[in-house]
Amino acid sequence: MAEIENMEVWQDPETIQTILHNAQTVAIVGLSSNPLRASNFVGFYARRHGYRVIPVNPRETEVFGERSWPSLSEIPEPVDVVDVFRAPDAVPGIVEESIAINAKALWLQFGVIHEEAATEARTAGIDVVMDRCLKIEHARYIGRMHVLGFNTNTLSARREAPA
Amino acid sequence: MSEEHRPDREFGFHTRSIHAGARPDPTTGARAIPIFQTTSYVFEDPESAAAYFNLQEYGNTYSRIMNPTVAAFEERLSNLEGGIGAVAFASGLAAQSSALFTLLAPGDHVVASAALYGGTVTQLKHLERKLSLDVTFVDPDRPQNWADAVREETKLLFGETIGNPGGNVLDIEVIANIAHDAGAPLLVDNTFATPWLCRPLDWGADIVVHSATKFLGGHGTSIGGAVVDAGEFDWSNGRFPIIAEPSPAYHGLAFHETFGTYGYLMKLRAETLRDLGGAMSPFNAFLFLQGIETLGLRMDRHVGNARTIAEWLSERDDVTQVRYPGLAGSKYGELVAKYLPRGAGAVFCFDLDGGREAGQDFIRGVRLFSHLANVGDAKSLIIHPASTTHRQLTDDELAAAGIGPGTIRLSIGLEDAQDLLWDLEQGFAQIG
Ligand SMILES: Cc1ncc(COP(=O)(O)O)c(C=O)c1O
């Protein structure tokens, strides 16, 4: 795995929370219909939590009953987050397309590391998260990761509305 | 976004000891963590039930695998240790065996400190026979010993921050580097230090285990343990197919691919805890949570009392040796300065001038120190290993275990130090 000096700048908690709170539509590049694959876990979870999930994968026709598009450019509606489950060398192309379709955020999953391409996306005004899982970050800040004993690093003495 | 969820403040240790993991209960508003004394949880609908069992969603199913009171303890401890999460167990030894079971396969090799707690050594030898492992025990004080013992099949290095009862201080950073050069994780038992005195994950250890029975609970009421993961170890390095490859025990799920850095803990909970079943009880978790609220305060006092008593003992003519790593002139002085700047714990041994008889007489003489086989209580504790835990051993065998016939082990509590000194004086008087 590529080692990056300042990985924290790509994993900023504020950026992560802003993306998760504002997004409605998530295009998952490399979404698999196999329920054992990580991409399927994330897509399934995102749908349960109210996001509209758009599959992007030329090798699938349909995932979760949604049409799968061969590439980002072909999606006929606006995309808030481009969530990437692809080998790192596919990232530069995905960044170009993300800029072209006016995506607001680029989310690179565990191990999808490409600093130049990420920098290019950021320069174009796109929020970027790298080497983080969208499902886990959602569960940490909004969902229920604490029920499995994970450290959400959030502290509060306020009472929240029941789930 | 709710303001209080912005993690833009690094809260201090005491704040986190009190608040981490302890959200007010959304349904009742209860401020103390409720004891969720329930075996199981009603599902919202069949889809949610399926999603929980498939691990596609975080939710409660059955209290052998997760419980909200236990989860609060897990989150709090992992927060204090600087880990990404924790899984709690019914005892410290259950935590250790489950930590090992999750990452080892038959034929694997472990390098362990020979100065580990005796119960841990016994456990490792037992697992070695039953699981076809191979364990090499090394004198932990020379890093070269660890490096020399490592071989191709080595999948784990295992030490204690402060050894029980020898007081050996582990050179965590150096041993972690040796482990990582070998492509193996370093597991550290941090029971004696607690995260207030040392955070092994900050020094490169990958996994921390605890006997919560001791200082975390702090009042001698409950048996429990936990495994904390730093989330830093790369299980996809080709040496851990048991974690990286599809798991037959979980319908083909590949834990590392699916959960990334959380893969080890997910497997530890969803497979090992589910199948071996050593779950912590919610009531014990409640007591541990309460104990942890005062952890830093208590540890400072434990350490202060221990230092006073160790120094007092070291000035006596009828004491031949005091093995407290926090004493001036200890051979562990540099390691204590580096890893344990707040103090070297509160459990240590000293040697009486005289044999087994003297040891037993000393025990007869004291009356504040409780004569029992535990450590890490608010009450001061005492034991004479040669006539109790190590009774069957000859003097030569005792020596090999680092214990003399006149060795006494103390666990210093929170009483007034002057009263403890008065009590020890009575022990000396009894030897006559
Ligand atoms: C350092 C250490 N580790 C582990 C254990 C085992 O913990 P438990 O008794 O909770 O199983 C002990 C108990 O004495 C201990 O002292």
Question: What is the per-residue pLDDT across B306-346, written as a single tens digit (0 to 9) for each?
Answer: 999 999 999 999 999 999 999 999 999 999 999 999 999 99
Tell me whether A67 touches chain B (CB under 8 Å). no
Of A13, A143, A150, the CB nearest to B7: A13
Distance spanning both ends of chain A, measured CA to CA: 38
pLDDT band at B6 (very low <50, low <70, confident <90, very high): low
Q: ipTM score of the complex? A: 0.91
Per-residue confidence (pLDDT) for residue B240, from 0 to 100: 96
Q: What CA dihedral angle connects A160, B3, B4 and B7, to 10 degrees?
A: 130
Evaluate whether the domain defined by B296-431 bears CATH number 3.90.100.10.
no
Q: Where are the domains of chain B?
A: 13-292, 296-431
Residue B7 has pLDDT above 70, yes or no: no
Q: Which of B105, B408, B37 is nearest to B249 (CA)?
A: B105
Whether the per-residue pLDDT at B153 is higher than 60: the answer is: yes
Across chain B, mean pLDDT equals 95
B179-194: pLDDT as tens digits: 999 999 999 999 999 9
Q: What letter represents residue A92's amino acid?
A: P
The band of B302, judged by pLDDT with boundaries at 50, 70 and 90, is very high
Query: Which of B164, B211, B381 for mutating ligand 1's site (highest number of atoms within 8 Å of CB)?
Result: B211
Q: List pLDDT tens digits, range B60-90.
A: 999 999 999 999 999 999 999 999 999 999 9
Measured distance CA(B432)–CA(B428) in Å, rounded: 7
- Contacts A16 to B, Cβ<8 Å: none
Report angle CA A151, B78, B192 to the nearest 5 degrees.
175
Specify whether the CB–CB gap between B326 and B307 falls below 8 A: yes
* Predicted confidence (pLDDT) at residue B368 exceeds the cutoff of 80: yes
For strands B225-229 and B207-211, give the pairing: antiparallel
- Helical H segments across B161-223, by residue range: 172-181, 194-197
Q: What percentage of chain B carries pLDDT values higher than 70? A: 98
Best residue for ligand 1 mutational test, from B161, B213, B288, B374 (most atoms within 8 Å of Cβ): B213
Q: Does any CB of chain A come closer than 8 Å to the CB of residue B263? A: no
Span B424-431, average pLDDT: 96
Task: List the residue whose alpha carbon is closest to atom 12 of ligand 1.
Answer: B211
- For residue A163, the model assigns a pLDDT of 65
Are the C-beta atoms of A2 and A88 separated by less than 8 Å?
yes
Question: What is residue B8's predicted lDDT score, i.e. its pLDDT?
Answer: 65
Q: Which atom of ligand 1 is nearest to the CA of B160?
A: 1
Q: Look up residue A90 and give its two tokens.
A: 């596919």
Residues of chain A contacting residue B74, judged by C-beta atoms under 8 Å apart: 149-150
Going by pLDDT thresholds of 50, 70 and 90, the confidence category of residue B372 is: very high
Between CA B290 and CA B297 the distance in angstroms is: 13
| Residue B432 sits at the chain A interface (C-beta within 8 Å) | no
The 10 Å CB-count burial string (b at 16+, else e) for B175-208 is bbbbbbebbbbbbbbbbbbbbbbbbbbebbbbbb
Secondary structure tally for chain B: helices H, strands E: 18, 12
Residue located nearest, by CA, to atom 13 of ligand 1: B211
- Ligand 1 pocket test target in B214, B228, B383 with most atoms within 8 Å of CB: B214
pLDDT at B350 over 60: yes
Per-residue confidence (pLDDT) for residue B4, from 0 to 100: 44
Asked if B346 and B412 touch (Cβ cutoff 8 Å), the reply is yes
Chains A–B, number of C-beta pairs less than 8 Å apart: 130
pLDDT value of residue B165: 83
pLDDT computed for residue B88 by the predictor = 99
A148 touches chain B (CB under 8 A): yes
pLDDT at A2 exceeding the cut of 70:
no
For strands B407-411 and B381-383, give the pairing.
antiparallel
pLDDT digits 0-9 by tens, A63-101 = 999 999 999 999 999 999 999 999 999 999 999 999 999
Q: What are phi and psi of B409, to 5 degrees?
A: -105, 130
Question: Over the stretch B99-135, which tens digit does the pLDDT of each residue have?
Answer: 999 999 999 999 999 999 989 999 999 999 999 999 9
Ligand 1: residues whose CB is within 6 Å? Answer: B 91-93, 117, 119-120, 160, 164, 189, 191-192, 211, 213, 223, 225, 375
The closest-lying atom of ligand 1 relative to the alpha carbon of residue B116 is: 1
CA–CA min distance A52, chain B (Å)? 17
Q: Check CB contact of A37 with chain B, cutoff 8 Å.
A: yes
The band of B227, judged by pLDDT with boundaries at 50, 70 and 90, is very high
Q: Where are the alpha helices (DSSP H) in chain A?
A: 13-22, 38-48, 91-100, 115-123, 134-141
**pLDDT at B268 > cutoff 60:** yes
Identify from A40, A151, A152 which residue to disrupt to test chain B contact, counting B C-beta atoms within 10 A and taking the largest count. Answer: A151
pLDDT surpassing 70 at residue B381: yes
Q: What is the CATH number of domain A9-148?
A: 3.40.50.720
CATH code at B13-292: 3.40.640.10
Tell the residue nearest (CA) to atom 7 of ligand 1: B92
A34 CB near a chain B CB, below 8 Å? no
Task: Tell me what the mean pLDDT of segment A109-131 comes to.
Answer: 96
Please give the Cα distance from B9 to B245 (Å, whole number). 38
Q: Residue B260: its chain A contacts at CB < 8 A?
A: 38, 109-111, 133, 136
